[in-house]
Each structure stands twice: as structure tokens, then as C-alpha cells.
Amino acid sequence: MKQQSKARAHTNIALIKYWGKRDNKLFLPMNSSLSLTLDAFYSETSVELSDSFEADSFILNDQPQNSQETAKISHFLDLFRQTAGIKTAAKVVSQNFVPTAAGLASSASAFAALGAAMNHATGLNLDLAELSTYVRRGSGSATRSVYGGFVEWQMGTTSADSLAVEIDDASWDIGMITVAVNTNKKTLSSRDGMKLTVETSAFYPAWLESAAKDLVSIKEAIHKQDFQQLGEITESNGMKMHGTMLGATPPFSYWEALTVEVLTKIREIRRQGWQCYFTMDAGPNVKILCRYSDAEAIQKLLTTAFPDNPVIISKVGSGVKLI
Amino acid sequence: MKQQSKARAHTNIALIKYWGKRDNKLFLPMNSSLSLTLDAFYSETSVELSDSFEADSFILNDQPQNSQETAKISHFLDLFRQTAGIKTAAKVVSQNFVPTAAGLASSASAFAALGAAMNHATGLNLDLAELSTYVRRGSGSATRSVYGGFVEWQMGTTSADSLAVEIDDASWDIGMITVAVNTNKKTLSSRDGMKLTVETSAFYPAWLESAAKDLVSIKEAIHKQDFQQLGEITESNGMKMHGTMLGATPPFSYWEALTVEVLTKIREIRRQGWQCYFTMDAGPNVKILCRYSDAEAIQKLLTTAFPDNPVIISKVGSGVKLI
């Protein structure tokens, strides 16, 4: 056989955080989460299946990847190959348009794009909900990148129903700004941070209860298009996730000095009348949910305060697409 | 009648934090706490009772205090006067040897010293355990300042048994260093911070459970003189308290940019082999539990890193004393 497909997927930022796995192998989460897909950051990946290839190969951002990196991709592609009943080797060529300077992870868009391309190349043509259960096993947050706008990742009961659901296309003046505080590699990966939290945090059971309630409330806010409620829940849920880390043994934190300054500045901008709410993932960088029509003005205030830090605006992104 | 007494009391730093009241009027805490009394910071207060005084007066650090401040003191002195069956007015003269630059609260030593002086002046001569239930009603943390060394404030079941208990005189090479990050008045008082946490934090019930366990463990560590365990529980309990604030609605934090830098530096000093563990109260300043014999070396490392911030060593302090 010989087939080639190419897909684009955007990254997403969780407003209700995914924080902890109940199954490390299947990437089943401890709680349901909800995100906003971002237009500004994406991956484009092509998959070529050919009987003439002896083994899988993987080129990322024009760089051939070593056997260890390629093995991860092979393992992921196997999920599709098993279902399709084929063993054909693949050539994967991927480009991440998630600038390192933005301080964002690219794994969500990367696995969503790769999964979408592989889905088509193999002829499986799974629908997006089912596709999301496959890309989940590359990276948990990739689950949500199959759709655009506001997307829920339902924790489900098995691997088959731990999937993405479209909630709203977020076409009501929604934007996001990222402030890069430090773009170096983290000393503690998200994976290790969430594991330590699940295993030791005094606050973890309360986090799970609270995240479940936050999810119900944020869906109400989205349904009513109540931006303030949306923002307040986003900010509160994100800080709670960081609070769980202070409850771990030993306690840890992804915050840096500049993180605190950025959070303080955002509160100040909000007091000046701009609707803006922060959230943070497992790292020192800060993301701000705002009205897209306000984004440039807010960006200007932030750039004035933090001239050395990239401040990047994004509008709402769409789901995976073959290109 | 005419009586005069003068007492000294030292401040204390909680290793297991007091965070939340179950009775705002009686200052009954939601959880038991445990502290270390510090030698370097103290208050000296004289109380003169005389039938010739028309009303209470209060001089603090050589400054006559206004009627609002004096009323707080009168209210506190009434507790003793009621028990003693007298109505004699008092002249209170107090000096706080808690330098503003240290970024520490003086209310613990202030109310402990005032209570001890009043206890003697009225002739009540309550024992220290009972005295601690009186000073508690001036400021919760004052409860623990009646004793030296490691002191437990047992939450109790009523006002009469919510009192201080001597645990250990801490004469086994224990010291504390304070790093003043910001000594301006806080925008959110401890009282308001703990109230918001008790009322809204998703993590508050878990905090209470966890603090109860930490108290058991830290008393074991003290009994065994296991400094590492003592330090690890101290650091973990303090961070948990700060984690409860990130679980509040709205989330809040006392951390400043420099706080994060100081915590990072202490972790670095620890990796270099020094036994030192941080804790923080409801403010941006950092306290470090260490071996007293290591304190100067650690102070030097901190002063080099933060030349603009006061870094003050204290040895272990003693309980209230008439002077």
C-alpha cells in the first residue's frame, strides 16, 4: 500500500485543568477537563504509509529524530495500525508552529495532527470523538485539540468513552493572551508533577470534587455566554490546581518570581476595568482569558510592564483538519 | 488600690500553623498548632492599676495611643478585672522589640506580655496554662508565647481548655532565621485571610485533617530530636496553609516575587548540604528553621543573595517573665 495524508491541529489551554491520571498507560484522567482551542499555535503533520519503507521515520521541524523519539511515535501509530489490521511503516514529517518563545507545550497539537493524518492515511476514518480517544494516548491534552472552541474532555469510564465533546464554538468575542515567563525546559515535567500530586497531596481528593463542580459551573457560564463567570471559574480552577502542589509531600511549585509579578499586574489591569482572568499550567508561564476585542489593549499594558517577555495574542482556533 | 507589674514575652513562629477560627469572639481556633518561641523578638509591658486613674491609658513605643487602640486594650484587661472583681483603671506602657524591618507581627509577644503583667498586677496569679487562655483572647498566637521552646496550642473544646502546653525546651541546637521580604502593611490581614479561607476554600476541610496529622508527626520528631523530620513537616505544613488560599474563592496569595526567589535560594542552600527548612505566615516574609550552630553560615549565604533584605538570626526564646 501507499497512502499519504496531512493534517493541522491547534493547541488548547485548559480552563478546567486536567491534573492527574487514573491510568498511566491508557492516559485516562482523574477528572474531566475543559479547554479553549487557540488559533495562533498549531502543528502540521504528514503521514506517508508505504510498503517500501523498512521502518518508521520521524522528522520534526526539519530534524530527523533519534530512535527513542521515533519509538514513541511508532507506539502511537500502532494503535491505528492494529485497528486497521496493517503493519505498514510510516514516514512522519511534522512542523510545530508553537514558537518556543511562547512557553507553550506542543504535544497537544502534535498528537492531534499526527492522529488526524494517520486516521486518514490508514483509511480508518474514525469520527472525531473516536479519534480523540486515540490521540489521547499520545498526550492527554491532545484529546481536546480535535475540536475548536470550548471543548470538554469527558473522563469517561473506559478508554472508549474518555473522549472529547464540542461544547461551544466560542464565537462570542473570546481571546487568549500568553505571557512567556520562562521558556526553558521545566525541572519537573507535568507528568511527574501530576503523579506526585495524585500520590501525596493532602488536597487531591478535594481538588477532584471541586473540579467536577467547576466543570458544571463553567458549562453554565458558556451556555449563558457569561464572560465574567467564565473568567472567574477559570482563574479559580487554575489556582486550585497550583494549590494542590503546595499540598504535596514534598510541596512544590512551578511559580517563578516573574510569575507573581505577572499575576499581580493582571489583577491591576482588571481593577482598571478590563475583563481579564489568568490561568497557568504546569509551568511558570501565564495565560490570560479576555475579550478578543480587548486583547490588543491588554497586550500593550503587559508589554509595557514586561518588555522582555513575549506577549502573544490568539483568537479562538478550530479543530483538526486535513490539509 | 495601686499595683504595678512589668513583664517580658517573646514572639513565636508556628511550625504547625494556626489558620482559621471556630469562634471569632473567643479566639477559638479550628485546629491545634505548634510553635517555636524566638529570643530575638519580644515585648516589655508594664501595667499600673490605680484608683486615681479615671480611665485606661496606653502608651506603645513611647507614643500615647488613640481611643480606638486603647479600647482594644481595655476590652482585654476587662477579662482579668472581671475575674478579679475589680474595676480599677490601668496605665499600660509597652515597648515592642520586634523591629518593623523584621517583617514579623508583634501581637503575640504584645498580648502575652500585657497579660502576664496584668495577671500579676491584679493579684490573680493564674498559672501559665490558664494565663494562656486569657492572652488568647487578645491575639490567638499570643497563646503560645507564654512558654519558651516548642509550644503546642491545643484547640480544646471550650474557652477554658484552648490553651498552651510546653512540649520541649528546644535546647538541642535549634535556631530560626527571618528574611524580611516586604515590611509594609499587608493589603489583606491575617484575620481576613483566614476568614476567607475558612468560608470558601475547597481545601479547608483537608487542611484541618492534615494539620491534625502533622501535629502528631511533629511532636514525634521533637520527641526523637529528629531535625530533618521536624524541618520537613514544618515546610510541608506551611506550604499547605498557603495552598488553602489558592483554593479560596476568589483565590489569593501573600507571595511576592522576592518570596519565590527566597524559597528557591533556601532549596539551593539545602542542596548544598545545610539543613534548613522554610515556613511562611500570612505575609510575604520567610522564616527558616535551622541548626543554631549553622545560622551564621546560612545568614551569610542569604545576605549575599539578598543584600537589601534584613536577615535576622534568633535563638530559642523563653516564656513570659516578670521583670
User: What's the complex ipTM?
Assistant: 0.94
Using the 3D structure, point to which of A151, A171, A191 is the last residue of a domain.
A171
pLDDT at B319 over 90: yes
User: Which residue, among B196, B234, B237, B260, would best test binding to A if mutated, counting the most A CBs under 10 Å from its CB?
Assistant: B260
A14 and A161 together in one domain: yes
User: To the nearest whole angstrom, how far is the Cα of A285 from the nearest Cα of chain B?
Assistant: 14
The span from the CA of A136 to the CA of B65, in Å, is 65
* Residue ranges making up the domain that contains B76: 2-171
Write out pLDDT tens, residues A195-239. 999 999 999 999 999 999 999 999 999 999 999 999 999 999 999
The beta-carbon neighbor of A246 closest among B246, B250, B257 is B246
A76 and A63 together in one domain: yes
User: To the nearest whole angstrom, how far is the Cα of A248 from the nearest Cα of chain B?
Assistant: 8
CATH at B21? 3.30.230.10
pLDDT at B95 over 80: yes
pLDDT at B99 over 80: no
Q: How is residue A70 written as a grid cell?
A: 521515533
Judge contact between B151 and B167, C-beta under 8 A: yes
A142 and A227 together in one domain: no
Confidence of residue B240 (pLDDT cuts 50, 70, 90): very high
Nearest-by-CA chain A residue for B209: A202
A36 and A144 together in one domain: yes
CB contact under 8 A, B247 and A210: yes
DSSP E strands: which ranges in A51-194?
57-60, 63-64, 90-97, 150-153, 164-168, 175-179
Q: Which of residues 15-54 of A touch B (CB under 8 A)?
A: none
Q: Which of residues 189-248 of B touch A (CB under 8 A)?
A: 202-203, 205-207, 209-210, 232, 235-236, 239-240, 242-247
* Total number of domains in chain B: 2
B129 and B12 together in one domain: yes
Write out pLDDT tens, residues B101-113. 677 878 999 999 9
Residue A309: what residue type? N
Question: Is residue A151 included in any domain, yes or no?
Answer: yes
Q: What pLDDT, on the 0 to 100 scale, is given for residue A106?
A: 85
Number of C-beta neighbours around residue A220 at 10 A: 13
Question: Is residue B320 included in any domain, yes or no?
Answer: no
The span from the CA of A10 to the CA of A110, in Å, is 8
Using the 3D structure, point to which of A171, A193, A210 is the last residue of a domain.
A171
Q: Which residues from chain B sit within 8 angstroms of residue A206, using beta carbons?
A: 202-203, 205-206, 247
Q: How many angstroms from the chain centroid is the CA of residue B130? A: 18
B289 and B161 together in one domain: no
Q: What pLDDT, on the 0 to 100 scale, is given for residue B67?
A: 95
A182 and A123 together in one domain: no
Question: Which H or E run contains A293?
Answer: none
CB contact under 8 A, B247 and A203: yes
